[in-house]
Structure 1
Amino acid sequence: MTQQVATREIAQWWRGYLRRHPVAALSTVGGQFVLGVRAVQYLVLDVLTGRFAFAEFIRQSAFMASASALPTIFVSLPIGVTLSIQFGLLAGQVGATSLAGAASGLAVIRQGAPMVAALLMAAAVGSAVCADLGSRKIRDEIDALEVMGVSVVRRLVVPRLAAAVLVGVSLTGVVCFVGFLAGYLFNVFVQNGAPGSFVSTFASFATVEDLLLTLVKAVVYGSIVAVVACEKGLSAQGGPAGVANAVNSTVVSSILLLMVVNVVFTQLSMILFPRQGL
């Protein structure tokens, strides 16, 4: 009898665990996908019909830029220096010090810039967007909009999605410039590298396709941050504690999803656009 009770309790625990974690995770991802598709549809439709909320878009863009610009710049500086150090040491070991500029510069553009901008967006912007929408949700403002016949996706999600894409692309460009400049200055003044060699090797190996891929990544990453933050904020419940949990979940979920998508992007780019050399 005791064994049957223990077996029943274990089975109940497993069912509860599956309901709380894997099933809930799949439901959340599905809701985020549906929200993202609807937001993109409304964005295109509103821009074509002239119903796009430009005032809200400008306010959100200014807020996102002010919240993430300085942290992104401060993070991109050590990233550029670290890459310059590592590639400089590696190039010195194999006797190819002249390629340090190409290696560090391409690493910043291809991988460093979009990921640094996206992670700072997730930490600074995503948390703020989730907290804003979550506080509106627990104050029943979202339900009031739906009762009045106002589309929540059109009114709140679409401007934030467009603003996140714009700010994400802008921050990626800033990281490219600051990271490359930091690596260049460190290589020239600390590692005693040749300025002309650093720039010429980078110009020889860098292509327009590298920049285009980086910009595509920035658009996708900005969209991911915005959609995850909006979905978590709009589904917040349980009062202020629920909003705090939603903010924490937004940052963690965004970073994990960004890492997975970055691996997929990198692998697809290597398969579709193979490189013959560095």
Structure 2
Amino acid sequence: MARSAREYLRRHPVAAFETVGGQFVLGVRSTRYLALDLIRGRFPVEEFVRQAAFMASAAMLPTIFVALPIGVTLSIQFGLLAGQVGATSLAGAASGLAVIRQGAPMVAALLMAAAVGSAVCADLGSRRIRDEIDAMEVMGISVVRRLVVPRFAASILVSVSLTGFVCFVGFLGGYLFNVFVQRGAPGSFVATFASFATVGDLVLAVVKAVVYGAIVAVVACEKGLSARGGPAGVANAVNSTVVASVLLLMLVNVAFTQLYLLLFPRAGL
């Protein structure tokens, strides 16, 4: 057992660096091929539309059911906190900004990782174990350009769309709960949010959504293309896709938040 532990500690860091390196290279290649195909007019629009429609249908319904509780929960917490410090009029600004800056991008990204990332990984992993990927490589067809790039672009588009949708649903849920349950003033909720929210907050949410969508697509595609060991290997790849995506999204979210606060400090709320 001690030998197994030593072997694991010796091999795991190397495997982790190889995985991260492979994902980084795949992300760079996907971005480069996407830009080149758009410029040259060779972008596979039909496959892109098909993948985007599939991703939206897979993630839309769970997003609705998660966005409403998130908006209501934030409204409850910030309403209680505002009442304790005697600033109940700022509940709208606090809950609305929390949804736009943190809630919406993370909710959309986590649902993308769980619903979309697992499906993309399972699709590509199944192609790998059926030797379809090897057949494409033998025929000289670029797997990245044919399979990864459309999913990469579709994931970014759907992530941005879901983020905007979660912003709307989360803010609406918080507004309705604040007005009809907590007996807050409708005008105060909207006015305080409009006073403190800026275009930079929306830009930050969109940038986060683009990066998160790209991360989910790259991780899912890399895990699917590297699946080995038959159906069990595909199942393990799907599981590792969700886990790795969530951990990476959390780390990137912390980095984004700290960088934004450093570059655009605020004296108030």
Q: How far is the alpha carbon of 1:22 from its aligned partner?
A: 1.4
1:58 equivalent in structure 2: 49
2:22 & 2:216 partners in 1: Cα distance? Answer: 14
1:34 and 1:15 map into 2 onto residues whose CA distance is 29
Paired amino acid for 1:148 = M
How do residues 1-278 of structure 1 correspond to structure 2 at under 5 angstroms? 10=2, 12-13=3-4, 15-278=6-269
| TM-score where L is the length of structure 1 | 0.95
Secondary structure of the equivalent of 1:236?
A: coil
- The residue aligned with 1:5 is none
Instruction: Count residues in correspondence.
Output: 269
Deviation at 1:19, TM superposition (A): 4.0
The answer for the alignment partner of 1:3 in structure 2 is none
Unpaired segments of 5 or more residues in structure 1?
1-8
Task: Provide the rounded CA distance (Å) in 1 between the counterparts of 2:266 and 2:101.
Answer: 13
CA distance in 1, matches of 2:260, 2:76: 26
Q: Deviations over 1:154-175 (max 9, x none)?
A: 0000000000000000000000
* CA–CA distance in structure 1, aligned partners of residues 32 and 83 of structure 2: 51
Give 1:23 shift: 1.2
The amino acid that maps onto 2:132 is E
Per-residue CA distance 1:176-233 (angstroms, 9 max, x = gap): 0000000000000000000000000000000000000100000000000000000000
How far 1:20 sits from its partner (Å)? Answer: 3.4
Give identity over the alignment, percent: 82
Cα offset, 1:48, TM superposition: 0.2
Hey, what's the Cα distance between the residues in 2 that align with 1:196 and 1:223? 38
CA drift of 1:18 comes to 2.9
Question: In 1, Cα distance between the equivalents of 2:156 and 2:173?
Answer: 25
- Aligned counterparts of 2:123 and 2:104: Cα–Cα separation in 1: 27
